[in-house]
Structure 1
Amino acid sequence: MAVSGRRKWDDKHSISKQGRQLTFLCQPCECDGDKIEAEAFCETCNEFICSPCLKAHRKLAISKNHVIKSKNEMPKSRKKQKGPCTELCSVHHTEIIKFFCEDHHSVGCGDCMILSHKTCSVKLVNDVSDSYNTSEELVQIRKNMATLLRRISSYQGNILDGIKATDEMREKIMKEIHIFRQEINEYLDNAEADLLKLIDQLTSKQVSQLGHMQKEFESMKTDMRECKDKIMSLQTILINCL
């Protein structure tokens, strides 16, 4: 039975009988200053308890399903705990997860083990966690994860290189398009200037030719008027002579 503010327990709290058998004191009673021999060991709470405390332990709802070892089954020392588990059971929401079922590879509280895993191989989560970190399967998983992380980093590097190459290609194409556009504009400007010059030359020549023809026509009209006048004058002279 867990008591708030309890002192840490170790082998120094055990009593030796004639140097042959270790006898442990009840930890809850020890916290109250009483030295009473332990008659059982609660694996769930990881503490030695006497008969009166065991009765109370089995009556309380929070500890009635704890795993209890009799005096003959008690361990030679209290197991060191890394720290209490605070994860609540997904089935019994007021109970803390403390056990691992090796047959079903699942965790649960004391109620889960009693109701659903009576015939299974059940261990404390703290005990399993010690060997879990060094298990061959976990070591392989860690190696695979490290390999995947390296591959992901490599793929990310390739993606960044691809993005950079794409940006550089875009800049190059845009620059070439700009240069090509400038060349087209320059070509069109030169072509326009040449066409305008040619048109000016053609129109100037045409105007010159038309002006020359106009002068010739005026000259011809003058000549025809003079010829007409001469004919009229000659006709008058002839009439007078008759």
Structure 2
Amino acid sequence: MEVAGKRLDIDTESAEGESSLCVSCEVENVKTPACGACRECNEKMCTTCFRYHLRVKLCRNHVFLSLDEFSSLSLCSGLEDVTRCEKHDNEIIKFYCRSHDIAGCGDCIVLGHTSCKPEYINDLAKSFKDGDTYKSIVKRLEDLEKQKTVCEQEIEKGKYECENMNENALKGLREFRTEINKCLDKAEARLLSEMKKLKKENTETQTKIEAVLQSFTSELQEVKQMLDTQLYRDNALFINAVNCKSKLADIEKKYEQSTKDMTLKGFKFVCNDQMLALQESERPVGSLQFCQIECRTKETTKQKFCVGTRVRHPRKTKKMAYTFPGTVTKVTDTTFTVEWDISYTKTTYNIADDNSDKLEII
């Protein structure tokens, strides 16, 4: 109960007030639980600060409210703001234009809706709570809340799916990488074995060539000695020279036959064209294949347009500032019917069609 200048003792502080702090004490960096509030100043206070508050001449008649009373008063003030017109200096909203489906004050009606046969909200509001329009709005709200719950469940499911997909993709990448490494190791081992074999064959060939070269050197040295002018002169040198001709021919023929098949096998490493192209590609290991996960349930047309849903045609141009509203009166498995407020005519739409460009919910 509100009392002008009422002073409360500290002992009257409620448990609810302990969760709120005195605004005046907070200015001094002191945290004191508030046990009430000044209605005129709209500030929560402790009893000590309110006693000082009443000493000021301008505040002497201010009313101290309990926290429960203050919360109720704030809620009522918020409800009163709904009836105030934002366009015309907080004029009271009293009229409803059924043609344009808007509520406004007297100025709104005079300026734009005098020919629309506006109705008094007081008359309409008496039975509005029990009418189909209010029930359809509440039903629509309940449907949206259910969809929100389903959407939250889908989001949680999506989180699990995302984590699971990441783990599976990482596992697949690691396994494929392991298989690639095994394949490369085998290919490398085959090449190393072949290189070792070729190296051994070349080493054996070189050993044979060295043996032939050693024998060839010995025979050439013998011929060279026979043609040495310091050892042989005149007739002896001539005879040796004649003999050396056939001997050199035999040495040359023998060398050619001995080294005929003694050639080293040259080799070098050449990259596999496919592996080289794979290495130069942007995604040498693989790629990610994208798939869509629905984290939000899609609303069907039948769910949108249920009995009692208020609809109107969407505004497509600036000239169409308002459109005539209507109410969904019938819904079947394949169609739904709208009865228009002005002409009371009915239009039937197919549920399977996309009606987003034809109708919008209001």
Q: Structure with the greater relative contact order (CA < 8 A, sep ≥ 6): 1 or 2?
A: 2
Compute the TM-score of the two structures, normalised by the length of structure 2.
0.33
TM normalised by structure 1 equals 0.45
Give the structure with the higher percent helix. 1
Structure number with larger C-alpha Rg: 1
